[in-house]
Structure 1
Amino acid sequence: MSDVDVLERLERILRSDEDVPPERAAELAVMLDEPPIQDVVRLVERSTATRAAVVLRLLSRRRSIEVFDTLDAAHQADLIDALGDRAVYEFFSELDPDDRVSLLDELPAEIAERFLRNLDDSERDITGVVLGYPRGSIGRRMSPEVPHIYEDLTVDETLQELRRVADDVETIYTLPIIARDHRLVGVTSLRDLFTADGSAEVSGLMDKPVFAAAHDDAEETARWFVPLDMLAMPIVDESGRLLGMLTFDDAADIIEEADSEDTARSGAHEPLQQPYLSTPLLKIVRSRIVWLLVLAVSALLTVQVLDTFEDTLAAAVVLSLFIPLLTGTGGNTGNQAATTVTRALALGDVRPRDVGAVAWREVRVGMLLGALLGSLGFLLATLVYGLDIGIVIGSTLFGVCTMSATVGGIMPIVAKKVGADPAVFSNPFISTLSDATGLIIYFLIAKAVLGL
């Protein structure tokens, strides 16, 4: 039986009976040992908390810990009640300190405190180091488990130390070199150590370190670190003392989480933070309802504009036919600009102080887009409804595109300046604002051209 067939059969069994009978448990446990670990993870991610807990209990201890470790922190938190204390404590103690803290952030305070109490003293102290840094900082995502390689050690002494601590540290491939007061002085690699003379001091092998401070923003740090293609880099305190290491995979996770959050918010909902099929229905509803209420209230601005220009519409009913075209064009133009600038902010291509340059660039882009679309709108509207209506539509498209592109470009930067997430001020609000402002432009031009 292929791995796909095994997983499909397991999924059918779990859907038909979440309480697996004892006589079937042994059979399912054997079946779960057959597929690759990534397929078992996929099965867990497609299952409810109760079904996922069944899978984790039936897996061997090693595989169940591996699967639990790969899940998102929010998904792990959902499994807590279904798994029971004994299994949860075991999984929790096996997590790396930074992953442990991510899970604690998703749990109620009393449960998090209980979990910490069940750790042994050394693991509790290491976890406490990471917990001591604010959410959103890179210190919160580092691993404090690093080898202490002093600059005056020889290569042989260093290799001996690495053999001693290899099972207890996050990585041994990129190695920070420290002075006796724990200040970071350089980095070296395991490759360099293996190829060096055993009696040489590691200070002769080290390179200038690339590092980050523990209080630096996690997303910004991860975004400049990942393109460097380094396996890991040191994290230091304000005095330059080594605190931990940020690995490439942890940095990639930070970027993935940030991109998922931006994508969700630009689509007018909060990120689920776990696989869709394993997310409880009420959690999905909560992620959407607040945004829908906010946007529904803000859309009243568009209604108010239409009410203000009711007489204009009554005098030239044909104007109402073009409202969907104009509002749609304005919203799409603004969304394009906002999405582009939000992405540029995330990548560091644009900084808040570049607001003037961005505004001037988007004014010109909007004018060019408006000229192209306005010319087409003028031509078609003139052919069907006459020259006056053609002038109104062409002029409005030019004005709406220019305005929407400019506003869409600067709004994410304004959000960044005031400390808000640029994605929050992206597509949903830009669309609403463009609708209302575009209608004002439309009716003012119509009144001027048509003499209403």
Structure 2
Amino acid sequence: MTTSSTSSASSASLDSVLALLRAPQHDEELLEQLALEVRLLPLGELVYLVETRPATEAALLFRVLDKELALAVFEELPPLHQAELISGLRTPQVADIISDLDPDDRALLFDELPASVAERLMHGLDADERAMTTAVLGYPRHAIGRYMSPEVLPLRPTMTTGEALEHVRAHAAEPETIYMLPVVDGTRRLLGVIGLRRLLLSEGDELVGDLAHEAVHAYATDDREDAARRFLDAKLLAMPILDRENRLVGIVTIDDAFGILEKENAEDSARTSGSEPLPRAYLSTPILRIVRSRIVWLLVLAVSAILTVQVLEIFEDRLDQVVILALFIPLLTGTGGNTGNQAATTVTRALAVGEVRVRDLPRVVWRELRVGATLGSALGVLGLLIAGLIYGWPIGLVMGTTLLSVCTMAAIVGGLMPIVAKKVGADPAVFSNPFISTFCDATGLIIYFTIATAVLGL
């Protein structure tokens, strides 16, 4: 079957599934038909349907999936959506799904469930699964320990590589990954790691301890974003997680690291734009939840914008004397806000990936001062020529000088604020675009009218 015909079949199945879900009644015959149709859909389409359909339809769709496919779909959903879906499912199906989840995924789900429901589901687990889930839940929400899997296959340094391979074959189904194997002593202290490829290529009588190399690792209480970035920078498939006594407690895999950074980037993107991230898919998020994610920021920015109004009121008499000055206000405030936001976005990203640290504040300020002055000079010369030719050279001089000053000021503030936020323990994205735009608007107007007063003799 060609790609186009496969796509057409999938589209037809999707339409059929949607029609069946919208049916006013769902008898046994309809459910059997729905079960047949969903088998024709790829995993991505099923996840999309469960995420975007109303809760009752999503639960109905989920019920007709076979156990293996249901687990695959469930694992792709965000924890909050998983929690909402559980409330609409039968108890036996929930128990099967919960027991098949990895301990770290189970812990994230339990965070979103009511305590009574989480406790009931916890009691339904066997002793080993309950112990591993409890261990993960014991770490703070933003710690990398919440995202590790306690299911690890450690090796002893005294094993030969042949013995190690036999050990891996016997227990390969238990851990989350076997491509990177930690090497520990009798007290589970990490000595190093060895890759499965290295084991397979060894002679068979070499000692694991001689082949193991030093491991890039993280402590279970480390911040999840910092640990995930360190993980990806090292280009690893898996990374050991230790307690403060350097004992192995779990492992983080590459999909966990990508998931953490995807969530952090989504939060930063939303907050930079003046809103809060949505906890579930946009199409299935209630309207009031979307309103709540935006209105707080709008109110904060509206209140802070009063500062700009007050500045205009202070310089109202200057505007009365030279009305032409009012024409350039949108240009100046827009230029200042854009310059500050550009600097803030660049520095926020540099902070996130470890290219800039708090102690680099003086270097960042000096760098942004030069960048802002260069940008301001280019825009200032352009403003001087255009405004001077059209409105007279005194106005041109005001515009040119103001653009130079505003760009320099905005670049410094934009580079400064994310580092200050990091220093006080706040999210740098929160202090970026929304607040910087308002600050640069008010400060830019003060600079503008001060220069106009001096040049025009107002």
Could you say which TM-score interval applies, normalised by the shorter chain?
over 0.9
Q: Are positions 1:380 and 2:392 aligned together?
A: no
Aligned to 1:26: 32
- Give the 3 Å change call, closer, same or farther, for CA 351–23 of structure 1 in structure 2: same
- Distance in 2 (CA, whole Å) between partners of 1:293 and 1:82 is 36
Partner of residue 354, structure 1: 360
How big is the shift at 1:243? 0.8
- Name the structure 2 match of 1:406: 412
SS of structure 2 residue aligned to 1:2: helix
Q: How far did residue 432 of structure 1 move?
A: 0.7
User: Which of 18, 32, 57 is equivalent to 1:11?
Assistant: 18
> Could you tell me how far apart the structure 1 residues matched to 2:298 and 2:18 are?
34
Q: Which residue of 2 aligns with 1:228?
A: 234
2:445 maps to which residue? 439
Residue equivalent to 1:246: 252
Give CA-to-partner distance per residue, 1:172-191, whole Å, 9 cap, x none.
Answer: 11000101111111111112
**TM-aligned CA distance change 1:364 to 1:392, over 3 Å:** same
TM-score when normalising by structure 2: 0.95
SS at match of 2:252: strand
Q: Report the Cα offset of residue 382 of structure 1.
A: 1.2
Shift of the alpha carbon at 1:298? Answer: 1.0
State the Cα distance separating 1:249 from its structure 2 match: 0.9
Give the letter aligned to residue 281 of structure 1: I
2:347 alignment partner AA: V
Helix, strand or coil: the match of 1:82?
A: coil
Aligned counterparts, 1:1-400, within 5 A = 2-14=9-21, 16-17=22-23, 20-400=26-406
Are residues 89 and 296 of structure 1, via their aligned partners in 2, closer, same or farther at CA, if it must alter by over 3 Å? farther
- The change in CA–CA distance for 1:42 and 1:185 in structure 2 (over 3 A counts) is same
Residue deviations 1:205-243, cap 9 Å, x none?
Answer: 211212111111110111121132211011111121111
The residue type paired with residue 10 of structure 1 is V
The aligned amino acid for 2:374 is: L
Q: 1:156 Cα deviation (Å)?
A: 3.2
Aligned length, in residue pairs: 451
Question: d(CA) in 1 for partners of 2:409 and 2:391?
Answer: 26
Is the deviation greater in 186-195 or in 40-49? 40-49
- Aligned structure 1 segments of 4 or more residues deviating by more than 4 angstroms: none
- Equivalent residue of 1:26, what SS? helix
Q: What is the identity, as a one-letter code, of the residue corresponding to 1:58?
A: V
Query: CA 1:284/1:85 → structure 2, altered by over 3 Å: closer, same or farther?
Result: farther
Give the Cα–Cα distance (whole angstroms) in 2 for the partners of residues 343 and 390 of structure 1: 36
Kept in 2, the 8 Å contact 1:48–1:277? The answer is no
Separation (CA, whole Å) in 2 of partners of 1:230 and 1:74: 29
Gaps of 5+ in 2: 1-7
* Paired amino acid for 1:173: Y
- The letter for the 1-side match of 2:335 is T
On the 8 A contact 1:144/1:243 being kept in 2, the answer is yes
Change (3 A) 1:12 1:409: farther
**Is the Cα–Cα contact under 8 Å of residues 338 and 426 in structure 1 kept in the other structure?**
yes
Conserved in 1, the CA contact under 8 Å of 2:242 and 2:249? yes
Bigger shift: residues 293-302 or 401-410: 293-302
| Pair 400,85 (structure 1): closer, same or farther in 2 beyond 3 Å | farther
The answer on whether the counterparts of 1:376 and 1:394 sit within 8 Å (CA) in structure 2 is yes
Contact kept, 8 Å, 1:6 with 1:31, in 2: the verdict is yes
Q: Give the Cα separation in 2 of the matches to 1:289 and 1:424.
A: 15
Aligned equivalents of 2:93, 2:383: Cα separation in 1: 65
The letter of the residue matching 2:11 is V
Report the equivalent of 2:3.
none
* Partner AA of 1:23 in structure 2: E
Give a deviation string over 1:251-282, Cα, whole Å, max 9, x none.
Answer: 11111111111001001111113221122222
Q: CA deviation at 1:163?
A: 2.7
Match of 1:425 among 419, 425, 431: 431
Cα distance between partner residues in 2 of 1:420 and 1:68: 33
The structural deviation recorded for 1:30 is: 0.8
- Describe the shift of the 1:82–1:289 C-alpha distance in structure 2 as closer, same or farther (beyond 3 A): farther
Aligned-CA RMSD value: 1.6
Query: CA shift at 1:19, angstroms?
Result: 5.3
Cα deviation, 1:325-368, whole Å, max 9, x if unaligned, reads 11111111111000000001001000011111000100111111
Q: How many Å separate the matches in 2 of 1:106 and 1:307?
A: 49
Distance 1:235 1:68 in 2: 26
Contact kept? 1:18, 1:50, Cα under 8 Å? no
- Secondary structure at the residue paired with 2:401? helix
Distance 2:213 2:68 in 1: 38
Question: What do the CA deviations read for 1:63-102 (whole angstroms, capped 9, x no partner)?
Answer: 0111001111122123232235443333222211111111
Closer, same or farther: CA 313–12 of 1 in aligned 2, 3 Å: farther
Offset from partner CA, 1:267-320 (integer Å, 9 cap, x none): 111111322112222221221111111111111111111111111112211111
1:437 CA drift (Å):
0.7
Q: CA deviation at 1:2?
A: 1.1
Distance 1:376 1:108 in 2: 61
CA distance in 2 between partners of 1:18 and 1:341 (Å): 54
Distance 1:330 1:161 in 2: 64
